Copies of this chain bind each other. A is one copy, B any other.
Amino acid sequence: MPSKHIYLFHEGNAGLRDLLGGKGANLAEMTNIGLPVPPGFTITTEVCKEFYVGEERLPTGLFDEAKRALADIEKKAEKKFGDITDPLLLSVRSGAKFSMPGMMDTVLNLGLNDETIKGLVSATDDARFAYDAYRRFIMMFSNVVMEVPKNEYEQAFTELKKRLGAKKDTDVGAPDLKALCEEFKALTKLRTGQDFPQNALQQLEAAIEAVFRSWNAERAILYRRVENISDDIGTAVNVQAMVFGNRGDSSGTGVAFTRDPANGENVLYGEYLMNAQGEDVVAGVRTPADIQELSDNHPKIYQQLNDIAQRLEMHYQDMQDIEFTIENGRLFILQCRVGKRTKTAAVKIAVDMVNEGLITKEEVILHRITPSHLERAIHPHFIEKPKEQILATGMNAGPGAATGKIVFTSKKAVEIHDANPGAPIILVREETSPDDLAGMLASKGVLTSRGGRTSHAALVARQFGIPTICGCSALQIDDKTGTMTIGEKLLCEGDWISIDGSSGVVYSGNLETKPATEMGETAALMQWADSFRKLKIRANADTPDQAAEAVRLGAEGIGLCRTEHMFLGDRVPLVQKLILADNETDRNAALDMLLPLQREDFEGIFRVMGNRPTTIRLIDPPLHEFLPNETELLVEVTRLECTEPRSPKLSELRQMLAAVRTMHEANPMLGLRGCRLSFILPGIVQMQVTAIISAACQVKKEGIDVIPEIMIPLISHVNELKWVKDRLEPTAQRIMQEEGLAIDYSFGTMIETPRAALTAREIAAEASFFSFGTNDLTQMTFGISRDDAGSFLPQYLNEAILPDDPTESIDQAGVGRLIKLCIDDAREVKPDLKLGICGEHGGDPRSIAFCHAVGMEYVSCSPKRLPIARYAAAQAALMDKDD
């Protein structure tokens, strides 16, 4: 054997987790800082690897090394292993680098046999305790090492108790337990053909092998797969002197957290049980007491425990989860590890620890608090999530929880809302279109059977903070009857459902919701984050209200103001007039009516934003989005043709149908939209630029110097940008001249087609800024449509065809490469080009880290995501420093 395979506890330390496993490393660390840890040693994970390279046997010489280490335990414990007067008993436990609770095997009380048991009886003067320990050991050893099913022993014990009329285990006395031990050994012999081993060393060797073997137990393999733990790292084995919490009323066992893991308060938290072993606590037969009671009943031990807790926290600089045992009034620490905690507690603990001077702000942001901790503070969530109420699962498209009564049409939702504002409505649709905006805003949550995380419904949902689940394909909606079925279950309009937009799960009934908490506790965190981050954070906002929310949540500008949302609502008839006009006069009349409305929109936004830059995207979507639905029109026309062929409405509808059909597109995403509209209906963007610059002038007169950044969308060739810009510049100049004012405006473009990224050198020369429209860029780079991915993307994610959902987090290998290439080229031509991102990815922490790394100036996200984005930007900046 080439190197050291066994570490006595005092030879290891917390840094050796790879080699000693998490438990072993911490036992070593605690031993070294002088805590009362029962003596022991750790067989390294390297041995586990050798074990599996060979024929699942311990490597030659290993057990000799173990025997030498055992001698050290014996010395420290002042007992001998296999001693027939006062035997040392051992525990043999697994312990991998990452915690795999309960997945591998453990053998306790090892070293007992028909001789040493007598020693234990006399040494403890407690025959009942001793035989209880022996029967547990025989069962555990027979099960773990000799592979006899445990329930056979349990059954025998149950029968014994029945026979004796014993209610609890403790009602069975020593003689009966002794007889039970004999019965157990006979059972083992019966099942395995072998005698129960009486040699203590033989027991030890077999137990070590068995624990190594349990690394590859089926459940352990499965657990590692789920938790993404490599099969190659192996487990260590910890051999440690037993201490007993069940040796009477001055013995006990318990678990303590150095702070309250539920709310983060800085008090010792936990529970304990006197005269009990760990497994008694787990079995839940007796109710443990609150750790504070220990302070009343055993103040010295409590004090000792509390001191240790504080020492451990100081030492590990994090809240600890401690297992302890009291044996005859003497406290032993059996394990410590970083304590699990709620997200709320995590934030409080981290902030407190900074204030206590225990850790730095950087440490908190880099390692302690993840953006997902903040999610909880930002969105409402269900207090309980009963599994039996789960109806189906879709895509978590708009985070937060909502509960309400089912409504199947936007019209109905608006009616209910108007009659009773605040009524709990969940809008359920096959998919949503811009027509549904009012209905969505009237609802508490939205559920669709089609579309993915970047579908229309999802985009609107996140923009307006509406909890939403998309692409829930198990849903079958029947508009006509006003019902939907999920599997066998039929739901009608008005039925309650609850949707968790953060997880994508749909529940039946009305679940209790905890509202979004105010930032409060996290305010300090956000302040620190702002002091570290390099990226500026903007918001996607289309209205003065949204802009105001954005500013409140820390936006330093608007990264995307979608002007088409300004064309909806009661302006739709005007917009339709504009689109359907067959002559210049009618078209201009419609534009003239839209101009003052749009100007007002911009004035409102500018007043809110002040001198923060505001990126306004000129009209982008295909025009047919503003027209009635083709299919519905067709049905109506066909119906009228059959029933009222002379209806005057028919010819009107036919005309509309003809217009809608002319605009029909096979793939609207790749059709007539974005800057392409400027070539067909140049009046729209002229009107928009007029509105932007006049609004800016008006607001400037009010004393506010606004910074409008006018964004021309869907460029794929520099000439498109040039052509459109060359026609809009004079308009902007003219208005400024008329008003006698200078506005600090600029023209730029969205990078959303792969070609724009590939020809950034040319395009940069014509733009003042680039904003990466990563929604479209991702769709085109992958060739995946936002609305149609529902049929295969879930399977792709399940089967790990795609490691992550690229609509959620920037696909760095593909889309990210394109972005990097674009930035490098663009900066070569124009080093001061302003670069940002305005796709949904702007609110995703991993994507934000990417944006930081490639040198963007800002990210922009929906207002609700601002805290997350600010925080993630700080992480990125600190990570960068860390390198």
A residues 781-801 near B (Cβ < 8 Å) are 781-785, 787-789, 791-792, 795-796, 799-801
Which of A635, A723, A784, A796 has the largest count of B CB atoms less than 10 A from its CB? A784
A801 B666 Cβ-Cβ under 8 A: no
A residues 751-767 near B (Cβ < 8 Å) are 752-755, 758-759, 762
B666 A785 Cβ-Cβ under 8 A: yes
A668 B671 Cβ-Cβ under 8 A: no
Q: Which residues of B contact A160 (CB under 8 A)?
A: none
Q: Which residues of B contact A631 (CB under 8 A)?
A: 630-631, 634
Binds B, one of A338-346, A500-508, A637-645: A637-645
- Once the chains are docked, how many angstroms separate the CA of A813 from the CA of B754? 12
Residue of B nearest to A677 (CB): B792
A782 B802 Cβ-Cβ under 8 A: no
A817 within 8 A of B: yes
The smallest C-beta distance from A776 to any residue of chain B, in angstroms, reads: 7
Q: Chain A 190-226 against B: per-residue CB contact (8 Å), 1 yes, 0 no? A: 0000000000000000000000000000000000000
- Once the chains are docked, how many angstroms separate the CA of A787 from the CA of B811? 28
B642 A788 Cβ-Cβ under 8 A: no
Binds B, one of A238-246, A567-575, A713-721: A713-721
A753 B776 Cβ-Cβ under 8 A: no
B792 A759 Cβ-Cβ under 8 A: no
Pick the contact of A679: B635, B680, B758, B796 (CB < 8 A): B796
A818 within 8 A of B: yes
- Once the chains are docked, how many angstroms separate the CA of A796 from the CA of B717? 10
A669 within 8 A of B: yes
Which of A643, A679, A815 has the largest count of B CB atoms less than 10 A from its CB? A679
Q: Chain A 157-170 against B: per-residue CB contact (8 Å), 1 yes, 0 no? A: 00000000000000
Q: Which residues of B contact A723 (CB under 8 A)?
A: 799, 801
A719 B792 Cβ-Cβ under 8 A: no
B755 A815 Cβ-Cβ under 8 A: yes
A791 B716 Cβ-Cβ under 8 A: no
A667 within 8 A of B: yes
Pick the contact of A669: B670, B672, B679, B762 (CB < 8 A): B670
- Once the chains are docked, how many angstroms separate the CA of A639 from the CA of B637? 10
Q: Chain A 606-645 against B: per-residue CB contact (8 Å), 1 yes, 0 no? A: 0000000000000000000000001100110011011100
A785 B667 Cβ-Cβ under 8 A: yes
A779 within 8 A of B: yes
B802 A671 Cβ-Cβ under 8 A: no
The smallest C-beta distance from A721 to any residue of chain B, in angstroms, reads: 10
A676 within 8 A of B: yes
The smallest C-beta distance from A661 to any residue of chain B, in angstroms, reads: 9
A125 within 8 A of B: no
Which of A634, A679, A720, A801 has the largest count of B CB atoms less than 10 A from its CB? A801
A residues 406-430 near B (Cβ < 8 Å) are none
Q: Which residues of B contact A672 (CB under 8 A)?
A: 788, 791-792
A77 within 8 A of B: no
Q: Which residues of B contact A666 (CB under 8 A)?
A: 668-669, 785, 787-788
A780 within 8 A of B: yes
B753 A671 Cβ-Cβ under 8 A: no
A814 within 8 A of B: yes
- Once the chains are docked, how many angstroms separate the CA of A415 from the CA of B784? 40
Residue of B nearest to A456 (CB): B666
A592 within 8 A of B: no
Which of A634, A716, A796 has the largest count of B CB atoms less than 10 A from its CB? A716
Residue of B nearest to A716 (CB): B782
Residue of B nearest to A663 (CB): B791
A668 B802 Cβ-Cβ under 8 A: no
Q: Which residues of B contact A795 (CB under 8 A)?
A: 679-680
B783 A753 Cβ-Cβ under 8 A: yes
- Once the chains are docked, how many angstroms separate the CA of A619 from the CA of B782? 19
The smallest C-beta distance from A563 to any residue of chain B, in angstroms, reads: 20
Residue of B nearest to A762 (CB): B813
The smallest C-beta distance from A806 to any residue of chain B, in angstroms, reads: 9
A126 within 8 A of B: no
A665 B785 Cβ-Cβ under 8 A: yes
Given the known inter-chain contacts A635-B634, A638-B639, A680-B792, please indicate yes or no for A783 contacting B670, CB distance below 8 A.
yes
Q: Which residues of B contact A670 (CB under 8 A)?
A: 667, 669-670, 779-780, 783-785, 788
B717 A802 Cβ-Cβ under 8 A: yes
The smallest C-beta distance from A490 to any residue of chain B, in angstroms, reads: 17
Residue of B nearest to A638 (CB): B638
Pick the contact of A781: B643, B753, B789 (CB < 8 A): B753
A755 B783 Cβ-Cβ under 8 A: yes
- Once the chains are docked, how many angstroms separate the CA of A634 from the CA of B796? 32
- Once the chains are docked, how many angstroms separate the CA of A643 from the CA of B645? 13
- Once the chains are docked, how many angstroms separate the CA of A191 from the CA of B679? 47
- Once the chains are docked, how many angstroms separate the CA of A698 from the CA of B666? 41
Pick the contact of A676: B635, B668, B779, B792 (CB < 8 A): B792
Q: Which residues of B contact A818 (CB under 8 A)?
A: 754, 758
The smallest C-beta distance from A412 to any residue of chain B, in angstroms, reads: 22
- Once the chains are docked, how many angstroms separate the CA of A799 from the CA of B717? 13
A802 B719 Cβ-Cβ under 8 A: yes
Given the known inter-chain contacts A631-B631, A676-B792, please indicate yes or no for A716 contacting B783, CB distance below 8 A.
yes
13 contacts between A and B (CB under 8 A): A635-B638, A638-B638, A638-B639, A639-B642, A666-B785, A667-B667, A667-B670, A667-B788, A679-B792, A679-B801, A717-B801, A753-B783, A755-B783
| Apart from A679-B795, A720-B801, 5 more pairs, CB < 8 Å | A635-B638, A638-B642, A667-B668, A667-B669, A670-B670
Q: A interface vs B, CB < 8 Å?
A: 630-631, 634-635, 638-639, 641-643, 665-672, 676, 679-680, 714, 716-717, 719-720, 723, 752-755, 758-759, 762, 776, 779-785, 787-789, 791-792, 795-796, 799-802, 811, 813-815, 817-818
